[in-house]
Amino acid sequence: MLPCTGRIDEALLLKAFENGADGVMVVGCLEGDCHYISGNIRARARVKRVYAILEQIKIGPNRIRMYNLSAGEGSKFAAYANEFVDQIVELGPSPINLARGGGVQAAKEEETT
Amino acid sequence: MKSGSNLEKVLAAGHLSVTAECGPPRGANPDIVRKKAAFVKGHVDACNVTDNQTAVVRMSSLAGCMLIKEEGIEPLIQMVVRDRNRIALQSDLLGAAAMGVRNLLCLSGDHQKFGDDPQAKNVFDIDSMQLIHMTKMMRDEGVFPSGDKLDGAPKFFIGCAVNPFADPFEIRVPRLKLKMEAGADFVQTQCIYNMTKFKEYMELALKEGLPEKIKILAGVTPLKSAGMAKFMRRMVAGMDIPDEVVKRIADEPKEKQAAKGIEMAIEQIQELKEIEGVSGIHVMAIEWEEKLEEIIGGAGLLPRPVVE
Amino acid sequence: MTGNLENSSTTVENPTGAVMVIGGGISGMQSSLDLANAGIKVYLVESSPAIGGKMAQLDKTFPTNDCSMCIVSPKLVEVGRHNNIELFTHSEVQDLSGDAGSFQANIYSHPRYVDVNLCTGCGLCELVCPVTEVSYFPELPAEGEKKKKLRAKEKRIVKGDGSVQPTSLHKWTFTVDEETCSKCGSCYRACLQGAIDWQKKSIAVIDQDKCTGCGACFIACPEKYQAITVTDAPDFGKSVGAAVHARSELLVKEFARDQDGGKNCIRCGLCVITCQKVMQIGALKMVEEGIEAGVDICQVCGACVSNCPVDFLNIDDVTNREPRPLLNAFNEGLNKRKPVNIFYPQAVPRVPVIDETSCVQLNSGACGTCASICGVGAIDYAPKEVETEIDIGSVIFSPGIEVFDARMRGEFGYGLYKNVVTSLEFERLLSASGPTSGTVSRPGDNKHPKKIAWIQCVGSRDHSCDRDYCSSVCCMYATKEAFIAREHDSSIEPTIFYIDMRSFGKNFDGYVTRAKENNVRYVRAMVSRIFEDPVTGDLELRYVDGSGNRQTEIFEMVVLSVGIQVPQQVKQLAGKLDIELDRYGFAVTDGYTPLATSRPGIFVSGAVNGPKDIPETVVEASAAAEAASAALAEARNSLITLETLPPERIPAPDDELRIGVFICHCGTNIASVVDVAAVTEYAKTLPGVVYAEHPLYTCSQDSQERMRDIIKEHRLNRVVTSACSPTTHEPLFQSTLQQAGLNKYFFDMANIRDQCSWVHPNEPELATEKSKRLTRMAVANATAGEALDELEFDVDSRLLIVGGGVAGMTAAVEAAKQGFGVYLVEKEAQLGGQLLNLQRNGDGKEFGSFLESVKETIEQDEKIRVFTSSEVVDQSGFVGSFESEIAMPTGATRTVKHGAILIATGAEEYRPEIYGLGEYDTVMSQTDFGAALESSEDKDWENLQVVMLQCAGSRDEDHLAYCSRVCCNHAVKNGLRLKELYPGVRVDILYRDMRCYGLGEEDYREARRAGVNFIRFDPEENPPEIKTEESGIEINITDPSVRLPVRLKPDLLVLSTGMVPRDTEELASMLRVPRNDGGFFIEAHAKLRPVDLPSEGLFMAGTAHGPKNSSETIAQAQAAVARVTTLLSQERLKMSGIVSVVDPTNCAVCLTCVRACPYGVPFINDQHTAEINPALCQGCGICVAECPAKTISIGRFEDRNIRAKIESYTAS
Amino acid sequence: MITGTPKPIDEVLEMLEPYDNIILAGCHGCVTVCRVGGEKEVQVLASTLRLAREASGKKIEIREVSLERQCDPEYVEQMRPYVEDYQAVLSIACGAGIQFLAEKITTTPLLPGINTGFLGVTERQGEWTERCQGCGDCVLHLTGGICPVTRCAKSLFHGPCGGSVRGICEVDKEIKCGWQLIIDRLVALDQMENYGKLKPYKGWNSARDGGPRRIIREDMI
């Protein structure tokens, strides 16, 4: 829970991966509907940068994704969460977790991050 | 006489001068220069030899000048400030003068980005204006820029280049005036297609009284094809080819476009001849030297006068 | 009757700075809060045992599907804990004397039998009370007489085939007291186990090996000897009833494990002990074959049944009288309750009331179990009637409404057919806290119905029942119920039978569209009868469909969309208060003073002032608060007490962590899925956690009080709750922290309801694991928490109003009455707005004279500064301290300072270029027509033919997508007036749905009676073909009522074109307030903050918010002023502590924050470092994330907080 | 301000190949302002490197530090107490800072994490452009405050050259013709008389051509 996705930064997103996350889903308001005007736009740029970093270091860019939703779209949120979880399950455990000899971290849990 | 060159004499005698240009080869084969010289010989008062034009590496200008001089053509050495600092420039000026080169064209040079070594370091120690000034000082005062005396001053008919079509237009005539004041004896213009704008330029130049002090040689480049016209318009910075010019050549069938280009070049020369203040024509038949005779002759400028 | 705003409040010298609010529903609560927050003392009188009203009973609310309880409960708590609101629940106003400004009221509080001050709301009394029915109490012995032992004449044996289960009966130990034993042998004869050794004249001895603990001996021993003593019986010392309950509980657990135990009598004897020793009836006896019941002396209290641990006994087995179940009124009688009862789980106050009609102790003197078990001694059976005299300046009358008694419409079989329910009953069936815990099951057989029908207008728009008015809310609540029912069970097929779809409010049509997309079926038909299939319980509905064919259709359940009406007792109360009601019981008010009753100083709000939904009620509640306090402004703050918080404990940096964790059941919301006990145990293992518990409702008042005590007792320095949404509940928990002397930011909350129990109902184990994880993360975050300061600053008491129409003018006058300076900025050259184009209000009164009188008031009021032909061109500052630049017609600008902003920019008539509008004189808008009608004397209109076309440009994606709300009533009014003036005219109104909501329905009916012809059209099915040419107008349409094509050639075509908001694009972007697709401003909360804008200190009123009529606009303007008053009456305001702060040490002065802030707040100060004004900071955290030097922090959302959460996500 | 861009991660990883515990040093100076070497970038790069290394099976320990300025000896000294504990220092300060570190800390290899750019300005958030080449002989008073040495691709003193079209340099359509800017400004300031005053040849000895430069101001020592 953040006041706005505009609060999240690249270091924290990467920290989640260091911490063993197999995927990180960032969910913000619809573009144009940010409660703080432009927070989600800035978040999008930061997610994009992390995406590029993950690609460069071969963790896999598709382990991070930003979604935009309105507060009234509970079912859509569920659909997105499932979609993302499926995507992560398909990708399998992150190379970090593999290197740690695990892969134990169930991807299913990502939806709360 | 400042230099005693043929070009200077022709102009001094009040003739409409004709110059052309000859690009040295991308290799050490002198025959290519000689072959080009054959097309030029007898049709011009002096022939420019370019200096690594568009930053593409070619045989040196000085060597080219020597080769055409051997063929009996008066050379005009082009010198850019892109590749040499003031030490090299002075040295080359001395060398060229020693070898009998009497005409000089001072240029900045195209940026190396356009050539085959875009990663090269450029020099631009001094600019073309300063090169003119430096040459004039060496010629007329017999001193190096450092103040030291020269042992034999280089006698050059000093030229510069202008592009009347580059921006900002307002600066073009004042800048020519500056070059004149810096020591330029003549100026060769960028090839002219936009006659209206060139006339406007000349009117401004006349207002400043420039043609009295500096010989203006109008540039002409025959178009080989509509494709070339479009390419030049698109790719060469500061090249102003009006739509009607492109259309005129493009309306011809492909095989007749070259002939049309020559016809149009001749018409241009005819028109330029009539403009007050134009003292000569500079024909830049790029890699098309074989057509020089047809063009210059077609314009009624042959044979070339001989002035003693 | 009053005629202008001036009279809406009377000026009194030395008024009393207090208001009595009658009715504790959402209306009364909102009025109370607005008053109390503006320095007026409030006495809130509610007749039921707890506040909350109808809204507390609702499941979800339209059109946002917000959970009603979730949004109302913070209000409940706020009212309950507000220092300046004195609650009188279970109380009535006895009488009212005095005059406006200085009334005296007498409040009678019914005895509760539970001391409000002592009770903790733990609910134990309700748990142990064994009574479930209203008893047939035995006659009490006359004074002085001895109580006669009841002797049964009629006996029945309830046969039990269960054998005695001596090993697991948790039996009590019975022994014979040698000293008191009379040696009579009663025990010996009663014992069915042969466990008693007795010979004549000798003391009986019980063989403990044989005894099964059934207590037969205990029962049999004559009262006068009482020689059997009971030991090893938990709670026996409190009372027998308590002991029975305790043993029953143990047995329930025991036999729940043993599947074979259920339903068979286990011979525990508790029923017999209950009947004899607790209820003192003695109707039951243990016999060999089972239980012998004296069916004629049984008082049918139900205690034996409820104490039976194996559900063996049924009430019908033990009596020959008809049981009278004690029904739960809050759940609309759908389930039973105990005589001692907490009104509903989130009730405020959460204190039970003992029911006088059913409590055994109050009626026969027996039992007394609840008092014996109450740990705080809060229960006292002596009646304590309290009468309180209060002095008040004004009264707000908002007692609310009840639903129509559906029995009056006998053809629907309500009361006879069990599967026909009212909409309010269905609401309880949908509610997670209702009798079925939110499972949609029909009352007849608990079957899950698939096909459910809603029948609209039951007790509304019904002349035969004297309910001519439209109840205004039923179309929407039926849609919502159908919608939500499908959310609960997607196999449900809902059908709504309706006459007109009156979805006239903001975003309502869109909601109906969504319902349609979600497979809610709408049938435009009136259901004539319902027949029940007695075997299946299914219901056959008869109706006539759109093609005129008779249809029958079977449904499994029918919901009657019952209308709302004024209860009889409310009418009586109104009589006591001497306020005028109309024939239905709704208060009589004037369109220009919509909240003022006939008696000065008494104001009315909510549905008793005409049917209305929640947001309109909230608007009226605020408006009534404003109207009631306007005359009391000088007495503001004279009677209030200011909340004093204890000083905050400053924790030392090296203090050990002492975290308290509260895992909420949320009733069953969470606990039915998540194993809250397991989460609690888990929480105890987390580092720093010293205390954890799992309350039933963490948010209830008693839980909050308990939390406060626990914080103190355990010296907690961090608190975590795992409960519902922080958005709704965090402020509540935080204020509890403050009251316990803890900085409110030492807190974090995990949402294990929305994120666990609600989304993973079918995976309880995983949901529990996830709850643990979220709790762990919250604990980690709280560990990283720090104390934050909240900034206080001065409030400028002036108000800037943008827009000088009726909303802005009303607000200006009212704000001035409240004592605030007003800047009123109007774009046009004169005040008046859209009213200048309109003729008469809903009461038929002319706008002209009204406007003149208001203008005059404004001109004469020194506190109001009017800027006409002016615009606000720049605005800066923040709540309490704004600065605006006003461009004036001279070209000069003036900067004004003010504490709040009210947007009242209004709307105007939509003028689309359709059907020749603006081209031909014969085509005009409804407003044009109204004007023409006013000056029609010189026109030859005697035989005029007029066609009015409704929705001409409204409810149309190509024009205005929304419903403009006022057009139907406007057309009906104009039609009626035309008919009145020229009886010979012909008027046809072409409409889609006649949305004459509320009392407008009366005019609609009147218009039909007067001969106005109404032809319904559907743009898809029978759109009217309209040709307008110079030569004339021709309209062809199929009239569905006669199913024949009709050709009309009217002289005039009047278009009801709807309403468009004024152009506010620049204003909206300047003030950074959002607008919807239609260009209307979006309120902070659709239900409960209808006049607040999302930005603090900004409010709105009138048609800038959405289409509405003039009296609704006036009410909204007054409401907005009430909200403004809560702000401007404060001398100082406090800001959130969650703001970005720059640590100058590492500031590179790079300007990144300055550029990144969407609000332009950061600046570089004269210390050459970035600075962020905390009063302006919105707390988004964008700058924190952008800062390349990582030198900006934001309280609660620091890197270390987020890292703590990330790290604890995976930590085991 | 001195600007820079991050080095490609692969290049950094290659540099770090021999090491398994390093210091990653940011700088609070220019590189913070141009968002390539501040505290935040230290965090991002450290996370990135740890992830990359751990994924490749060779974990790396990174100590994240940020010096006030890597170009001042006192600040550099702050690293001294612990620098010996690490195998290398990866600096994301400018080339000056990195070199200064390398000079002062002689026993530990110093590695550059960014490519140093130019002396430039912030056009807007995320965009920087060059303004000064530090030629040591400023003529801005004659050129309307626009530097011909930096802003003209050919450092002409009497531009614009023939390649200037509609204010755009022939070298790149994203580059404005410096001389067009100068002339526009001189016209606007009514200072066209300054055009042509630059006849004396520029002395490049005050620029880098004179060898590594130093500034000594006796009065300040």
Least confident of C787-796, C807-816, C848-857: C787-796
Q: Record the tokens describing residue D125, joined without a space.
A: 């958030």
Lowest mean pLDDT among C254-258, C357-361, C932-936: C254-258
Higher pLDDT, B276 or C249: B276
Enumerate residues 6+ apart whose C-beta is below 8 A from C904.
C801, C802, C803, C804, C805, C807, C808, C811, C1100, C1101, C1102, C1104, C1117, C1120
Residues of C with CB under 8 A from a CB of D: 1146, 1148-1152, 1155-1156, 1187-1191
Q: Cβ–Cβ of A14/D8 closer than 8 Å? A: no
Of C744, C750, C737, the closest CA to residue C1208 belongs to: C750
* Residues contacting C1066, CB < 8 A, separation 6+: none
Residue A106 above 50 pLDDT? Answer: no
**What's C96-161 look like in SS3?**
EEEECCEEEEEEEECCCCECCCCCCCCCHHHHHCCCCECCCCCCCCCCCCCCCCCCCCCEEEEECC
Determine whether the interchain pair A99/D51 forms a contact, defined as Cβ–Cβ distance below 8 Å.
no
Q: Is the pLDDT of residue C63 over 50?
A: yes
Distance CA B172, CA B163 (A): 8
Q: Report whether pLDDT(C338) > 60.
A: yes
More confident residue, B185 or B287: B185
Among the listed residues C483, C508, C364, C498, the one whose alpha carbon sits nearest the alpha carbon of residue C1106: C508
HSE-CB at C968 with a 13 A cutoff on CA atoms is 27
Test B171 with D183 for CB contact under 8 angstroms.
yes
Distance of alpha carbon C345 from alpha carbon C92, whole angstroms: 23
Within 8 A of C1146 by CB-CB distance, chain D residues are 28, 39, 66
Q: Is the pLDDT of residue C821 over 50?
A: yes
Residue from C1104, C1118, C1101, C1065 nearest C908 by CA: C1104
Q: Which of B186-200, C249-263, C512-526, D164-178 has the lowest mean pLDDT?
A: C249-263
CB atoms within 10 A of CB A75: 9
pLDDT at C1131: 92
Q: What is the pLDDT of residue C1176?
A: 82
Q: Which domains does chain D have, with CATH numbers?
A: 2-118 (3.40.50.2300), 135-208 (no CATH)
Q: Do chains D and C touch (3 or more CB pairs under 8 A)?
A: yes
Question: For B4-56, what is each residue's pLDDT tens digit?
Answer: 999 999 999 999 999 999 999 999 999 999 999 999 999 999 999 999 999 99
Ranges of beta strands (E only) in C717-757 are: 718-723, 747-751
Return the residue of A nearest to D44 by Cα: A11
Q: How far is D133 from chain B, CA to nearest CA, in Å?
A: 14
Give the architecture-level CATH label for domain C909-1060.
3-Layer(bba) Sandwich (3.50)
Local confidence band at C234 (pLDDT 50, 70, 90 cut-offs): confident
pLDDT at residue C1159 in the model: 82
Residues of D in contact with C1150 (CB under 8 A): 32-35
**B126 and D CB contact within 8 Å:** yes
**CATH code 3.50.50.60 region(s) in chain C:** 5-110+389-400+567-635, 403-564, 795-906+1063-1133, 909-1060
Chain D residue at shortest CA distance from B145: D201
Question: Phi and psi (nearest 5°) for C1193?
Answer: -125, 160
To the nearest whole Å, the CA of C728 is away from the closest chain D CA by 34
For residue A72, pLDDT over 80 is answered with no
> Looking at residues C439-467, what average pLDDT do you find?
94
What's the pTM?
A: 0.71
C883 strand-pairing partners? C876, C897
The pLDDT of residue C167 is: 60
What architecture is the C1140-1194 domain classified under in CATH? 2-Layer Sandwich (3.30)
* A in contact with D (at least 3 C-beta pairs within 8 A): yes
Residues 6+ apart with CB under 8 A from C284: C271, C272, C274, C275, C276, C291, C292, C293, C294, C304, C318
**Could you report the per-residue pLDDT of C1133-1188, keeping only the tens digit for each?**
888 889 999 999 999 999 999 999 988 889 999 999 999 988 888 899 999 999 99
Nearest chain B CA: its distance from D184 CA (Å):
9
**CATH tag, C795-906+1063-1133:** 3.50.50.60
Query: Start-end ranges of CATH 3.30.70.20 in chain C?
Result: 125-318, 1140-1194
C-alpha triplet C1061, C801, C872: angle, nearest 5°: 80
Specify the fold of C403-564: FAD/NAD(P)-binding domain (3.50.50)
What Å distances lie between residue C949 and C918, C969, C1023, C1208, CA to CA?
Answer: 16, 13, 11, 64
Q: At C373, list the tokens.
A: 């078990």
CA distance C1209 to chain A (A): 8
Size of interface A-C (CB pairs under 8 A): 83
The token pair at B13 is 């005698």
Tokens of C31: 């009025």
Contact D139, D148 (CB under 8 A): yes
Q: What is the pLDDT of residue B167?
A: 85
Nearest residue to C900 (alpha-carbon basis) of C1098, C605, C1151: C1098
| H or E element in which residue C456 lies | strand C451-458
Cβ separation B238–D170 shorter than 8 A? yes
> pLDDT confidence of A104, banded at 50, 70, 90?
very low
Q: Which fold has domain C5-110+389-400+567-635?
A: FAD/NAD(P)-binding domain (3.50.50)
C1202 and chain A: CB distance < 8 Å anywhere?
A: yes
The predicted pLDDT at position C24 comes to: 96
Give pLDDT tens digits for D61-77: 999 999 999 999 999 99
In whole angstroms, what is the distance from residue C855 CA to residue C810 CA?
10
Please tell me the predicted confidence (pLDDT) of residue C13: 80
Average pLDDT value for residue range C760-789: 92
Judge: D154–B122 Cβ closer than 8 Å, yes or no. Answer: yes
Q: Which residue of C has its CA nearest to A4?
A: C1180
Q: Which two tokens stand for residue B290?
A: 């074989």
> Which candidate, B230, B265, B287, places its Cα nearest to that of B56?
B287
3-state secondary structure of C526: coil
Domains of chain B and any CATH numbers: 6-298 (3.20.20.220)
pLDDT value for C668: 63
User: What percent of chain C is modeled with pLDDT above 70?
Assistant: 97
Does residue C396 or residue C250 have the better pLDDT?
C396
Subunits next to B (3 or more Cβ pairs <8 Å) are: D
If you classify domain C659-783 with CATH, what class do you get? alpha beta
Q: Chain C within 8 Å of A15 (Cβ-Cβ)?
A: yes
Instruction: Name every residue whose Cβ is closer than 8 Å to that of residue B197 and which is 6 or more positions away in sequence.
Output: B164, B165, B169, B240
Q: Would the pLDDT of C792 be above 90?
A: no
The answer on pLDDT for C433 being more than 80 is: no
Three-class SS of residue C749? strand
Average pLDDT over residues C164-175: 76
C125-318 fold: Alpha-Beta Plaits (3.30.70)
Q: Please give the DSSP secondary-structure letter assigned to residue C923.
A: E
Å from C1092 to nearest chain D CA? 35
CB-based contacts of C1020: which residues, under 8 Å, 6+ apart? Answer: none
Buried b (16+ CB within 10 A) or exposed e, C23-50: bbbbbbbbbbbbbbbbbbbbbbbbbbbb
Q: Quick one: average pLDDT of C1024-1046? A: 92
For C288-333, the pLDDT digits (tens) are: 888 999 999 999 999 999 999 888 899 999 999 999 999 999 999 8
Query: Rounded distance, CA A89 to CA A94, Å?
Result: 10
* CA distance, residue C888 to nearest chain D CA (Å): 36
The interaxial angle of helices C806-817 and C614-630, nearest 10 deg, is: 40
- Helix/strand/coil (H, E, C) string of A5-32? HHHCCHHHHHHHHHCCCCCEEEEECCCC
Residue-level pLDDT at C261: 47
Of these ranges, B88-102, C236-250, C302-316, the one predicted with the greatest mean pLDDT is B88-102
Q: Is the pLDDT confidence value at A107 over 50?
A: no
Which residues are bridge partners to C540 per DSSP?
A: C531, C554
Per-residue pLDDT of chain D (221 residues; tens, 9 = 90+): 999 999 999 999 999 999 999 999 999 999 999 999 999 999 999 999 999 999 999 999 999 999 999 999 999 999 999 999 999 999 999 999 999 999 999 999 999 999 999 999 999 989 999 999 999 999 999 999 999 999 999 999 998 998 888 899 989 989 999 999 999 999 999 999 998 776 678 889 898 888 889 888 888 88
Q: Which of D139, D143, D155 to mutate to test the interface with B (most CBs of B within 10 A)?
A: D155
- Give the closest residue to C1157 by CA, choosing from C1118, C1119, C1183, C1127: C1183
Q: Count of residues for chain D?
A: 221
Interface contact D40-C1152, CB threshold 8 A = no
- Tokens 């921006």 correspond to what residue? B167
CA separation for the pair C789, B236 (Å, rounded): 66
Confidence of residue C728 (pLDDT cuts 50, 70, 90): low
pLDDT surpasses 50 at C7: no
Contact residues, chain A, for C1194 at CB < 8 Å: 3, 7
At C675-710, the pLDDT tens digits run: 999 999 999 999 999 999 998 778 777 788 899 999
Using a pLDDT cut of 90, give the percent of chain C over it: 74
